[in-house]
Structure 1
Amino acid sequence: MPLLGRTVITPLTIEVRRGAVADLGSLLADRRISAGGDVAVVVGPGQGEKILELCRPSLGAADVFTVVGGTIDAANQLGDQLRRRQYDAVVGIGGGKTIDTAKYAATRYGIPMVTVATSLANDGIASPTASLDHEGGKGSYGVHIPIAVMVDLDFVESGPDSQTQAGIGDAVSNLSACADWELAHQVRGEPIDGLAVTLARTGAEALINHPGKITDDGFLTTLAEALILGGIASSVCGSTRPASGGDHEISHAIDRLYPGTGSHGEQVGLGALFCTFLRGEPDRFGQLARCLHRHGLATTPADLGLTDDQFVEAVQFAPSTRPDRYTILEHLAMSPTETRERLADYAGAIRDHCG
């Protein structure tokens, strides 16, 4: 008998709106995640008190844990605290570091995880991975996809523009990642998941074509949905393929060679733009360049504070960051001289599109 369908694991609920934090208790009860509010609320050190003030009335039975997130040690410490009581769910409220810390700890003890995002800096909102620092650098760990995802636009709007800009770079880079995946399929016969590609590409296409600004609710909603779809796409296919290609390899190389250069989103956005140029896609390149430029993201190495030589070194080093992944960088296998020549051509193309 032929396989007529497949089961796809997604969050039970996704809400992107203002006032989401204040309505958290109602959402948990309505979705039968926690009728009595017996949850572990995890917040970061930044806006923790303000967040608790809003959600405390509807979560009277909750325990609150403040974490300085982003490290494997913090995640393990949180996990040790979670096992002292039985919780209906772990609710991570905040930015990427806090959410990743909560996702890892919840997965470790098999507790459902609810994401309440107060920033839109990356696709970790709904992804099946947690990016955490350890003594040897930064690692990516497989975790359960959140059972519910909420984005509070009040907090997103009041946060730094740089976080939203980073999210734009991360979301639109999915276009380049999917193109790299298709290249690997054509050249090496690597299996490709059409549903995962559709999800990742649909969100990115909606964002790149949106005429709004980062201060508009409509644009922020589209950005949130693009990041959520990117995370779900990775869950659907069981890998980060639809959201990570040569763009992420370049970003990982920059982190390794020149740590602290820029945000993850800025770096993958620039990496995606350069990889799109290398693939010889003039229409897509122009579209992506104008989007990044319009929203104030880097379109040249100098915008990130890197010299051309430093960027060339990062591109040369990039494939070694993901030896198992085939992208346009592995396909072209450029020498340093060839990379420098292509970068010069790229600079001319950027001037044509961005002035």
Structure 2
Amino acid sequence: MDTIIISPSKYIQGNGALDNIGKYVSVFGQRPLAIADDFVMGLTRERVAASSEQENLKIGFDIFGGECSRVEIERLIDVCRTQENDVIIGIGGGKTLDTAKSVAYYSKIPVVIVPTIASTDAPTSALAVIYTPEGEFSEYLMFPSNPNMVIMDTGIIAAAPVRTLVAGMGDAMSTYFEARANGLSGKATMAGGVPTRAAQALAKLCYETLIADGEKAKVAVENGVVTKAVENIIEANTYLSGIGFESSGLAAAHAIHNGLTKLEECHHLLHGEKVAFGTLTQLVLENAPQSEIDEVLNFCRTVGLPTNLHEMGVKALNHDKLREVAKASCAEGETIHNMPFPVTADSVYAAILTAHQLGL
């Protein structure tokens, strides 16, 4: 199997980076279409329009309908065709960004991704999650290439709810441990091959950055300011974790996250909050050293990530439901089978209970 690494063509990060978007987008086309939901459009439109005007771009704006569905994607494809747009800009959260990726793919035009939060590592990936118009999961859409450009305005991201940055840390925290497991098993990653040393190094750097700067970054954004620690954590949550997960592999932590969606009590949690507990469960599953588990537990408690099922909203343990979670985590095709040893629903159930107890 070949070694493969994939990534966006260009990653840009800085406080006020949005004010330079016209210059950055102009290399791809002269008639961009920017999509964002109502709130984000109000937050960013004036700055995007001013920057585009400086570069003499004929920019169009369209309000994203709120769901990354086939219906919304087709609507925006028609808009691009009618307005003869030659590049699409997605500004906002995950569903807006996935819609922009999808419209660009089908319209055969470049895409520029502008996240307004750093809650997951999805912005850099060659993947979109498609939902029905009613909001139910429909399918994954895999793209042949990653976004042409990702722009992270750290000033905007630091002004978002603190919880979103912390959730991003929870998602990023799993990157190194899943990459390590996937590397030992030798299974193919989402990039279609085995990990490069570069991707594995980025995954490790991601974890090291979280431990070094996570608490400092949280304190800074709680006070509405951007520090070097904030810059480092935004890069870890987005770029280091994004390249790390896609080109180094997923394993048990994300599969356990998917299993936890079976618990209604956890539906209010953000993606990274569930992944954090999935990471603890993976460490128990592989019998990681207690010192490593303690470091992860301490980090979670310091930044405010859940370390047990009670903190995730599960007031009383229902063992039948927990067995359903374990079974769903081990479904055919789940990434838990990238672990370097056979995994069963029974072993996951045992690891969930143990991780919960250790995290109390």
| RMSD of aligned Cα (Å) | 2.8
State the SS of the aligned residue for 1:154.
helix
Structure 1 residues 174-185: aligned runs within 5 Å: 174-185=175-186
SS in 2 for 1:209: helix
Distance in 2, matches of 1:248 and 1:45, equals 31
Q: Distance in 2 between matches of 1:317 and 1:83?
A: 42
Alignment of 1:223 onto 2:233: yes
Q: How many Å apart are 1:9 and its aligned residue? A: 5.2
Q: Structure 2 vs 1, CA of residues 224 and 75 (structure 1 numbering), >3 Å: closer, same or farther? A: farther
Q: Which residue of 2 aligns with 1:33?
A: 28
1:71 to 68, 71, 78: 68
Task: Summarize deviations over 1:295-314 as a string: whole Å, max 9, x none.
Answer: 11111111111243344431
Pairing 1:212–2:216 present: yes
The aligned counterpart of 2:303 is 295
Q: Normalization by structure 1: what TM-score?
A: 0.83
Partner SS for 2:272 = helix
Using CA pairs under 8 Å that are at least 6 residues apart, name the structure with larger relative contact order, 1 or 2.
2
Q: Which has the higher mean CA deviation after the structures are superposed, 47-56 or 314-323?
A: 314-323
Mapped to 1, the partners of 2:326 and 2:211 lie a distance apart of: 25
Corresponding residue to 2:199 among 196, 202, 206: 196
Task: Give the whole-Å Cα distance in 1 for the aligned partners of 2:341 and 2:323.
Answer: 15
SS in 2 for 1:322: coil
Describe the shift of the 1:10–1:251 C-alpha distance in structure 2 as closer, same or farther (beyond 3 A): closer
Alpha-carbon shift at residue 182 of structure 1 (Å): 2.8
1:138 shift after superposition: 4.6
Aligned CA distance change for structure 1 residues 127 and 191 (closer, same or farther; 3 Å): closer
Show the counterpart of 2:171: 170
Q: CA contact under 8 A between 1:127 and 1:228: conserved in structure 2?
A: no
The correspondence of residues 266-345 of structure 1 with structure 2, limited to 5 A, is: 266-281=273-288, 282-306=290-314, 307-308=316-317, 309=319, 310-320=321-331, 322-323=333-334, 326-328=337-339, 331-335=342-346, 341-345=350-354
The 8 Å contact of residues 8 and 146 in structure 2, kept in 1 or not, is answered as yes
> Aligned letter for 1:320?
A
2:43 corresponds in structure 1 to: 50
| 2:94/2:122 contact within 8 Å kept | yes
Q: TM-score, normalised by structure 2?
A: 0.82
Residue 41 of structure 1: SS of its match in structure 2? strand
The corresponding residue for 1:115 is: 113
Contact 1:165 / 1:295 at 8 angstroms: preserved in 2?
A: yes
* Conserved 8 A contact 1:40-1:63: yes
Q: CA deviation at 1:54?
A: 1.4
- The residue matched to 2:12 in structure 1 has which SS? strand
Give the fraction of aligned pairs with identical amino acids, expressed as a percent: 21
Q: Which moved more, 1:339-348 or 1:268-277?
A: 339-348
User: What displacement does 1:165 show?
Assistant: 1.5
Do the aligned partners of residues 149 and 105 (structure 1) sit closer, same or farther apart at CA in structure 2, a change above 3 Å counting? same
CA 1:191–1:74 in 2, change beyond 3 Å: closer, same or farther?
closer
CA distance in structure 1 between the partners assigned to 2:3 and 2:86 by the alignment:
28
Match of 2:254 in 1: 248
Counterpart of 1:299 in 2: which secondary structure?
Answer: coil
Aligned 8 A contact 2:8 2:125 in 1 = no
| Cα pair 1:196 1:233 within 8 Å, conserved | yes
1:153-180 per-position Cα deviation (integer Å, ceiling 9, x unaligned): 2221221112112111111111221133
The CA deviation at 1:200 is 2.6
User: Residues 232 and 112 from structure 1, CA distance in 2 versus in 1: closer, same or farther, beyond 3 angstroms?
Assistant: farther
CA drift of 1:69 comes to 3.4
Q: CA deviation at 1:115?
A: 1.1
Specify the alignment match of 1:145 in structure 2: 146
User: What is the match of residue 265 of structure 1?
Assistant: 272
- Counterpart residue identity of residue 175, structure 1: Y
Aligned partners of 1:311 and 1:222: how far apart in 2? 36
Is 2:181–2:340's contact at 8 Å kept on the other side of the alignment?
no
Q: 1:334 to 1:27 in 2, by over 3 A?
A: closer
Query: Unpaired segments of 5 or more residues in structure 2?
Result: 221-226
Q: Could you tell me whether the CA contact under 8 Å between 2:10 and 2:149 is conserved in 1?
A: yes
CA positional deviation for 1:208: 2.7
SS at the partner of 1:320? coil
Which consecutive unaligned segments of at least 5 residues does structure 1 have?
A: none
Query: Which residue among 101, 107, 131 is the counterpart of 2:99?
Result: 101
